[in-house]
Structure 1
Amino acid sequence: MSDSVIDLGELRHGPDPDPLPRPPRAHGRTLRCALVVLLALVTLAAGAVTPSRPAPVTLPARPGSDVMIDGDLLLVMEPTSPRRQGRLAAYRLPDGEPVWQVPLSAEARYWGMTSLNGMLLTTGYEIGPEGRETRTIALDRATGAYRWQQPGTVTKLTDGNLLLRSGGETEPSSVRAIDPCCGTVRWQLSGVTADVTVRGDERGVDRVVLNQLDGPVEVRDAITGAVLARADLRPPDRGPIGLDLIDDLLLAVDRGSGAVTAYGLDRLDRRWTRTRVNVDFTLDCGPVLCLRTGNNELQALDPATGEVRWRSSRWGWAWPTDGRLMANISGIGPLEQYIVLDALTGRQLADLGRWELYQLGVGRLVGIRRHPDGGVLVGELDVGAAKTRVVDVLPRATGDCQAVTGYLVCSVAAPGSYQLWKLTD
């Protein structure tokens, strides 16, 4: 464990990313995992002595701030309040030396940050003449200088460009691909009355699907905007359908009749249909496709045929990791019990115990829980190896942690105080 500790003052202490929510719809979304925690390891950790650390560095940050670490920069985005304008500030790690800061609009509320090609992108909403408008602003990462802004929420494309989406629900949708350098539009669609779904993973988005309310489904190449397939997938009564994307399958869910039909994504060729199933939502479970039904059952289907491989009412969610599945059982408070399953059979391989789980980066997860002698126990979870490595005991931490790449930010015993721990590689 590194001996760097940075006191962040009062930071928003909701987990960011959230402690293992339902995996997002943008498929590639990724995410969860856990493993066997041996009693011997916990006992060993109870006697662990936290290494001495230098005096903490205090950084000015108000409650409700968002935090991100990008390389050697710690980025803190403070919200606007009735008495103070919001700001975005960068500090150099590990000492917390100020690098730059910029004010945020007093009429806006921004959340989330993304670093790409030497720029920092932040999305939020501003109050304009037509009401609340979602907007993305691009700043120079090195200096904080303003580069451009455009309406919509931003997602990286697989070719390094950006996809911006705005509207939806009661407003017409707009979709456009832009050059991150200066916001130049490469292709766009405006005034579309359709639900917009994207397929992507850690590399970025490569497909855009438009589900028109009173017309055909349209699949487009996200890089060029070219139409790859178009077909009317509505049921005979022309009722609405919901769409999910999992790998190369598009799943059309007709909740009225209780049917789910799988199509090949790029040609919309029909693969299979399952009837009399009350689908709550679908999940990417690696070698199988998971359905969560309305009667709280998790079903694993063969993605090629739609046949049920296994089913269970014990698990709430499931996520593919290292060729296996992690499933959970809801617990009390932030702790949930995590299980490792064989994806193809549903056979339980390990009981991981109860953790509050966080993702520190692609493929890296840690769990925390209160230590009986005070502070929190931190374990790194390796599903593929079916083991948990105890990273440390954070003696001053009281919980309320937030994950940022490679680090944990946790509240500590001092009122209104947070500390940043860098975890070992």
Structure 2
Amino acid sequence: MAIIDLGELRHGAEPEEPLPRPPRAAGRPLRGALVLLLLLATLVSATPLPRREVVSLPAALGSEALIAGDLYLVVEPAGPDGSQRRLDAYRLPGGERLWQVPLSVPGRYWGMSLRDGMLMIAGYEVTEGDPPGTVTIALDPASGEFRWQQPGSPLPVSGGGLLLETTDAEQGGTLRVVESCCGRVRWRADTPAGQFTFRSTESGVDRLVHSTAGGRVVVRDAATGVVLADADLWNPADGREVRAPTEGPEVGVQVIGDLLLTLGGQPMTVTAYGLDRLDRRWRTELDGAAYASECGPVLCFQDRSGDLQAIDPATGRRLWTGAGWIVWSTGAGLMAAVGNDSGADRLVVLDPVTGAVRGQLGRWEVVPPSVAGGPIIGIRPRPGGGLLVAELDLVTGAARPLDVLPDASASCQSIGYQLACRKPAGGFGLWRLKP
């Protein structure tokens, strides 16, 4: 499920370029023109200027505001007496309130989405004396009526349903796929202590992977729970010599595309396996990396200092490297944040195959799109207050100005060419951008 983090703006305002001085003119024609301009200015000042239409959306101090589909949802903070938190729902784009309901589970809510006709709410349940545990609550989006509640962190499954996992890295746990309508369990499996990861597609999760420190890896079909592969990667049955990571950094398991990757050991090594059969494809030593990510047609391996190595997913061959880049990929291309001496970041568009810079976007805070395939919106503070808004084009490598929002401050979410941002005086505003 899509999770939207309402972060604060990180970048300072950029200085505006001074406007060029107009050429000087002399003589009576200039004075006549000035008189005409003065008359026109007097007429314009007598007519009220049109105001930008903005929908005001309430959000009290300390509340958590999230957007799911065409619903604006506000989780009100608990009262000073510890009373129940409340969820208010408003219809977008008009901002009419639909309903409000109390939330039975005390805790912090971090994700909301519409799935199979139900409103799914994810959060951390806080119980006195116990560590917080994840919880999923299902409500009717039209009325707010309670449907069901179960422990676990929810993920949409390809073909329908929700995956709820309550795994623990030390004690093990349970994987369950339930029907979104009613919480009925489709399948479940108990897992030993270890790591849990998955492959996500546009329609949801389709592969689940559980791995243990000893090297056993189990791959399941998410829709049915059927085991597709089960292998001991450190002691393979075919007798091949495989170095187990008994020393050095802990080994992590990641899934990217059709590959399962193990990353760790000393020296740092990545080994690639076919996901559905766990057949070994290649092995490559790296200069050091903390995690892998998909960068379009290549694999990116990033360390915590920003050093980047791009690998050919078919052969494991190193293609290019970069220093000081934090990269992420979208359907349109590959974007990187580049640090500079002032501590601010600037965005550039990269060629994923060569690492060459295709375009300079400038300094922008990226607003994640709430729907797949939506425009990539960038915001930054405007001198004197408000926000500058642009669409970031990863094909042309250009930032196309969209709008200026003088009453917006931070914490923005995009819904296509609509932008919901916190207002300085409190609450949120919803603006229609000018594409």
Q: TM-score, normalised by structure 1?
A: 0.82
Q: State the alpha-carbon separation in 1 of the partners of residues 402 and 343 from structure 2.
A: 20
Amino acid at match of 1:254: G
Q: State the alpha-carbon separation in 1 of the partners of residues 93 and 104 from structure 2.
A: 29
**Structure-1 residue corresponding to 2:228:** 228
CA shift, 1:389, in A, is 2.3
- Aligned counterparts, 1:17-416, within 5 A: 18=7, 52-54=51-53, 57=56, 59=58, 61-71=60-70, 73-83=71-81, 84-105=83-104, 107-128=106-127, 131-234=131-234, 236-237=243-244, 239=246, 241-293=251-303, 296-322=306-332, 324-330=333-339, 336-360=345-369, 361-363=371-373, 364-397=375-408, 399-406=409-416, 407-414=418-425, 416=426
Identical residues among aligned pairs (%): 41
CA shift, 1:116, in A, is 1.0
Distance change (3 Å), C-alpha of 1:334 and 1:402: farther
Mapped pair 1:421 → 2:431 = yes
Q: State the alpha-carbon separation in 2 of the partners of residues 291 and 148 from structure 1.
A: 40
Whether the 8 Å CA contact 2:167–2:196 is kept in 1: the answer is no
Compare relative contact order (CA 8 Å, sep 6+) and give the higher one, 1 or 2: 1
CA shift, 1:244, in A, is 1.2
- Listed as ranges, the gaps of 5+ residues in structure 1 are 1-14, 22-36, 44-49
CA shift, 1:76, in A, is 1.7
Mapped pair 1:16 → 2:23 = no
SS of match in other structure, 1:346: coil
SS of match in other structure, 1:110: strand
Distance change (3 Å), C-alpha of 1:271 and 1:67: same
- Which range is displaced more, 77-86 or 190-199? 77-86
Whether the 8 Å CA contact 2:125–2:132 is kept in 1: the answer is yes
- Which range is displaced more, 272-281 or 205-214? 272-281
Amino acid at match of 1:317: V
Distance change (3 Å), C-alpha of 1:375 and 1:60: closer
CA shift, 1:173, in A, is 2.2
CA shift, 1:92, in A, is 2.4
Q: State the alpha-carbon separation in 1 of the partners of residues 9 and 381 from structure 2.
A: 18
CA shift, 1:276, in A, is 4.9
CA shift, 1:52, in A, is 1.9
Higher strand fraction (1 or 2): 1
CA shift, 1:311, in A, is 1.1
Q: State the alpha-carbon separation in 2 of the partners of residues 70 and 337 from structure 1.
A: 31
Q: State the alpha-carbon separation in 2 of the partners of residues 20 and 167 from structure 1.
A: 34
Larger radius of gyration: 2
Q: State the alpha-carbon separation in 1 of the partners of residues 105 and 175 from structure 2.
A: 27
Distance change (3 Å), C-alpha of 1:158 and 1:191: closer
Amino acid at match of 1:199: R
**Structure-1 residue corresponding to 2:27:** none
SS of match in other structure, 2:363: strand
Distance change (3 Å), C-alpha of 1:125 and 1:225: same
Whether the 8 Å CA contact 1:153–1:166 is kept in 2: the answer is yes
Distance change (3 Å), C-alpha of 1:20 and 1:179: farther
Q: State the alpha-carbon separation in 2 of the partners of residues 290 and 254 from structure 1.
A: 15
Amino acid at match of 2:423: V
Amino acid at match of 1:242: G
Q: State the alpha-carbon separation in 2 of the partners of residues 256 and 291 from structure 1.
A: 16
Whether the 8 Å CA contact 2:217–2:232 is kept in 1: the answer is yes
CA shift, 1:215, in A, is 4.7
Residues 343-401 of structure 1 deviation map (CA, whole Å, 9 limit, x = unaligned): 1111111111111111223232111112235421100112123333211100122x322
Amino acid at match of 2:76: E
SS of match in other structure, 1:420: strand
Distance change (3 Å), C-alpha of 1:286 and 1:56: closer
Q: State the alpha-carbon separation in 2 of the partners of residues 315 and 122 from structure 1.
A: 34
Q: TM-score, normalised by structure 2?
A: 0.80
Q: State the alpha-carbon separation in 2 of the partners of residues 238 and 386 from structure 1.
A: 42
Q: State the alpha-carbon separation in 2 of the partners of residues 299 and 238 from structure 1.
A: 21
Distance change (3 Å), C-alpha of 1:391 and 1:265: same
RMSD: 3.0
CA shift, 1:317, in A, is 2.3
CA shift, 1:69, in A, is 4.1
- Listed as ranges, the gaps of 5+ residues in structure 2 are 20-48, 235-241
Distance change (3 Å), C-alpha of 1:69 and 1:332: farther
CA shift, 1:130, in A, is 5.1
Q: State the alpha-carbon separation in 2 of the partners of residues 222 and 277 from structure 1.
A: 34
